[in-house]
């Protein structure tokens, strides 16, 4: 039983409307699900992904208006990579960011890949990573109903960077509990700090990696808007999910147990540095209650919440997402 890669990354936003504008109009991602935070139904939960809402392509956002900003630090998911086709595509995005005033760096090498780091409007740290023909976890499918040319589309999640004060406990969980393997390292780009460690699972490649950055000089992160809430790893189906639930419980972690999110099954636990991990199934998928053609067009509620739709909608603030 192996985890096959990253499933999704969930982030906090204080402005869902502007968030929608940035991720669909500037980045050209598809809104594949407009739902609610199932643990706090007064909050929207927006999912962006590829053309089909494929596992391994989603950035998701919990909307909390008025939320304070993130104070960066350790015990955090400090950056999220997004896959693109090639270095030529990075040049396209660099030019686009310059035209649109998106804060970004120059193209730099990370983990032997050409990359382009940038921030969204709330300071979320994102990094475009060029596949350049690398084998590994398959990329997603370009969303063609956008002004971004298909050859330059964002194709799904790459790695996440975990920033910690002490790396060994997190590395131990990745390798000894979750089955990742150490595959190399690369120099830190922010100063004279230890090399960033790279761990991979499944078929490997950009969509199946976790990078650990050791920064003992930083305080603990104070999470707010623009900060990453958790990262989820892919489990192919419910049968294998049962194995992983048992494994996490036998490893002694305080955990959520099985949680039915309708679109996937989930389990949550914190690794020793306090970063929230989730294990999520690929099945049944985001098209279980909407056709692929109509993903994200209405407020989606799982069947076990449908009887409360009127009550839930009454407590949600109006949300105008302009196509």
263-282: pLDDT as tens digits: 999 999 999 999 999 999 99
- Residue 322: pLDDT band with limits 50, 70, 90: confident
Homologous superfamily of 6-315:
2,3-Dihydroxybiphenyl 1,2-Dioxygenase, domain 1 (3.10.180.10)
- Tokens describing residue 22: 């940035």
Question: Quick check: 227 pLDDT over 80?
Answer: yes
What confidence tens digit (pLDDT) does each residue in 86-126 have?
Answer: 999 999 999 999 999 999 999 999 999 999 999 999 999 99
- CA–CA gap between residue 216 and residue 74 (Å, rounded): 8
- CA–CA gap between residue 21 and residue 141 (Å, rounded): 21
Q: Is the peptide bond before 284 cis (omega within 30 degrees of 0)?
A: yes
Positive/negative CA dihedral, 92, 98, 101, 102: positive
- CA 10 to chain centroid, in Å, comes to 5
- Tokens describing residue 126: 């994102």
- CA–CA gap between residue 198 and residue 183 (Å, rounded): 6
Residues in the chain: 323
Return the pLDDT at 264: 97
What confidence tens digit (pLDDT) does each residue in 51-74 have?
Answer: 999 999 999 999 999 999 999 999
pTM above 0.85? yes
């196509």: which residue's tokens? 323
- CA–CA gap between residue 236 and residue 223 (Å, rounded): 30
Burial class (CB in 10 A: 0-12, 13-18, 19+), 217: exposed
């Amino acid at each position: 039983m192996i985890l096959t890669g990253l499933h999704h990354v969930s982030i906090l936003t204080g402005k869902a409307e502007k968030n929608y504008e940035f991720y669909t109009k500037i980045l050209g991602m598809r809104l594949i699900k407009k739902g609610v935070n199932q643990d706090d139904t007064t909050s929207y939960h927006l999912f962006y992904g590829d053309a089909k809402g494929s596992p391994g392509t989603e950035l998701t956002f919990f909307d909390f208006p008025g939320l304070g900003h993130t104070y960066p630090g350790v015990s955090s998911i400090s950056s999220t990579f997004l896959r693109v086709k090639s270095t030529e595509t990075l040049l396209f995005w660099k030019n686009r960011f310059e035209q649109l005033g998106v804060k970004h760096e120059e193209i730099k090498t990370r983990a032997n890949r050409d990359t382009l780091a940038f921030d969204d409007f709330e300071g979320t740290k994102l990094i475009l990573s060029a596949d350049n023909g690398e084998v590994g976890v398959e990329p997603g499918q370009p969303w063609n109903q956008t002004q971004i040319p298909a050859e330059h589309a964002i194709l799904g999640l790459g790695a996440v960077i975990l920033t910690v004060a002490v790396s060994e406990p997190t590395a131990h969980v990745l390798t000894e509990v979750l089955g990742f393997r150490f595959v190399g390292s690369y120099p830190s780009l922010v100063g004279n700090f230890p090399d960033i460690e790279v761990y991979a699972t499944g078929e490997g490649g950009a969509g199946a990696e976790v990078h650990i950055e050791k920064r003992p000089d930083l305080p603990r992160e104070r999470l707010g808007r623009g900060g990453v809430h958790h990262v989820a790893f892919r489990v192919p189906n419910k049968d294998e999910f049962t194995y992983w639930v048992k494994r996490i419980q036998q490893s002694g972690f305080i955990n959520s147990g099985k949680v039915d999110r309708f679109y996937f099954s989930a389990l949550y636990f914190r690794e020793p540095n306090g970063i929230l991990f989730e294990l999520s199934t690929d099945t049944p998928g985001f098209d279980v209650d909407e056709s692929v053609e109509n993903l994200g067009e209405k407020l989606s509620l799982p069947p076990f919440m449908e009887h409360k739709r009127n009550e839930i909608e009454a407590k949600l603030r109006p949300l105008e997402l302009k196509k």
